[in-house]
């Protein structure tokens, strides 16, 4: 289902992440997601959200501000009954 962003070969589960036949490996973060952005394509030494940003987003979402949006997305997904899910670029997977 997933392709290696470096060589386009299929990614397979291995230990705590995924790997392709060429040996490109992507580890699962402790929050449970896979970051498939290759190091050489990152524009800074520390890309993404820092811990304070992650906690602020989590607090905001846990306060229910986007609950109606999440509820409607869940309804739409239930209507379509997908066999697989892919959540791309959506923070920590709040909507899924």
**Domain match, 22 and 39 both:** yes
Structural domain total, the chain: 2
Distances (CA, A) of 40 to 21, 23, 36, 85: 20, 16, 11, 27
Task: List the domain range (segments joined by +) for residue 22.
Answer: 1-44
**Domain match, 53 and 28 both:** no
Model's pTM, two decimal places?
0.55
Calculate the average pLDDT of the chain: 84
**Domain match, 33 and 3 both:** yes
Q: Is residue 36 part of a domain?
A: yes
**Domain match, 1 and 39 both:** yes
**Domain match, 12 and 38 both:** yes
- pLDDT of residue 44 exceeding 70, the answer is no
pLDDT tens track for 53-93: 888 988 999 999 999 999 998 899 899 988 877 777 666 77
Distance CA 65, CA 43 (A): 31
Distance CA 51, CA 60 (A): 14
| Weakest-pLDDT range from 17-21, 41-45, 62-66 | 41-45
Residue 31: per-residue pLDDT: 75
């Amino acid at each position: 289902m997933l392709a290696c962003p470096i060589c386009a070969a299929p990614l397979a589960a291995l230990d705590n992440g995924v790997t392709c036949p060429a040996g490109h490996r992507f580890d699962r973060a402790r929050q449970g997601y896979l970051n498939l952005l290759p190091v050489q394509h990152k524009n800074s030494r520390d890309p993404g959200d820092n811990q304070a940003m992650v906690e602020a987003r989590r607090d905001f979402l846990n306060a229910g501000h986007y609950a109606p949006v999440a509820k409607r997305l869940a309804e739409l997904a239930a209507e379509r009954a997908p066999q697989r899910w892919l959540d791309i670029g959506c923070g920590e997977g709040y909507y899924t």
